[in-house]
Amino acid sequence: MFLFLWLKRIIKAILWLVVIIVLIPIAGLAYGFLTTPSLDTTPLPGVTEGAPPKALADKVRAEIPGYQRPEESTFLTYPEWAIVYAAREYAGFVDKNQPSGFPYLSYIGRFWQDYAMVIRASSTYKFNLDNHQMLVIIGTSHTIEHAIQWAYENTVGRVTEATAGKRTAVDIYQAKVAADYAGFLDQVPWYQFPYAEKRAGLFAVQPAADDSAVRTSERKLAFGLADTIKQGYADLIKSALAATTDPACSTFTSGPRVRSAR
């Protein structure tokens, strides 16, 4: 009986988790459409549309393999930059401030607003399933990560901030890691980031003489656990990609390197 009840609870928890994950992009896009206006399609003065000269187009296709892509992908690449900019702005914020003050929820909203906007912009094109799958996956992941970090930093994080009274050595180290990650995303996929190396560096940080032991221990535990989870997830993605795809060209990219595959 006990085993049956335990199994039932596990199944129920898994089902609730699946429901929540499915609802995230639905709620996110609903928010995005409700909080963004319809597109202004009035042509800009002096701007004309047209294909490039055939000789130039043929030359580019021949010299740069994989350069050409479906036109709607140009629009659908844009929401990826919301994640890149969030990483940049988080790094800039924690360089001088405590992470509890960062507006995590606003950056969740911005992704879904950008996604809703490009859905409108690309509505006249053929539905690109690959692009939309990628955006739903990274948008859901972005939402979960930022929501968890917002909840943690505004509860446990604020308590340990209060005990410290100032930025500690581990806070400064994590700010540097955030800056490294923000720069990394411009050209390299997120799953190539050396989370395990950064975790080792975090554990090796020596606190200053007046640093709070509570804050130091909490930061090492929290970010060490986060790095462990991310490194494990990244390793799984790298293994899957190694078995199914060719190495991606890094000179010309279709967008920021936050996606799980090109």
At residue 47 the predicted structure's pLDDT band, cuts being 50, 70 and 90, is low
Alpha carbon 132 to chain centroid distance? 15
Report residue 218 as tokens: 């909490």
* Confidence (pLDDT) at 208: 94
Confidence band for 53, pLDDT divided at 50, 70 and 90: confident
**Per-residue pLDDT for 182 more than 90?**
yes
Over 80: is that where the pLDDT of 131 sits? yes
Q: For 166, how many CA atoms within 13 A lie in the half-sphere containing its CB? A: 8
Average pLDDT for 150-162: 97
H helix intervals, the chain:
2-34, 54-63, 71-76, 78-94, 104-121, 129-153, 156-164, 169-184, 195-204, 213-244
- In the predicted model, what is the mean pLDDT of the chain? 87
d(CA 218, CA 74) in angstroms, rounded, equals 42
In the chain, what are the domain boundaries?
Answer: 2-37+70-244
Summarised one tens digit per residue, pLDDT across range 169-179 is 999 999 999 99
